[in-house]
Amino acid sequence: MAGGWSKDGAVQDQIDASVADAVKQARSRLPAAPPNGKCATHCEECEKEIPIARREAVPGVRLCVDCQAEQDTKIQTESAINRRGSKDSQLR
């Protein structure tokens, strides 16, 4: 059921678009497989050694845990898309 000027299924279209965007963004953050099939032994950002357990758990890892956590925090704060808008903006 559509409301106002929106077409039937508009809400589901917005949900599908949000999910597709999230999947695309998550895939873009996956590490690319290294050409030789081996992980980096040292972090690309801080040059600290990457623990063996992390290299075995995450294929193609390039960052240590601390640098990866910092990068993930930046990504979360930069990608604050609100497709639905606030209730107040819909009433105007």
| Per-residue pLDDT at 49 | 93
Question: Could you read off the pLDDT tens digit of each residue along the chain, which spans 92 residues?
Answer: 545 666 777 888 889 999 999 888 887 777 666 656 567 889 989 999 999 998 888 878 888 999 989 988 876 665 555 555 555 555 55
| Per-residue pLDDT at 18 | 92
Distances (CA, A) of 43 to 23, 33, 50: 26, 15, 6
Q: Which positions ≥6 away from 1 have C-beta within 8 Å? A: 8
| Per-residue pLDDT at 76 | 65
The ranges assigned to domains in the chain are 32-78
* CA 13, chain centre distance (Å): 21
The label of the residue with tokens 């606030």 reads 86
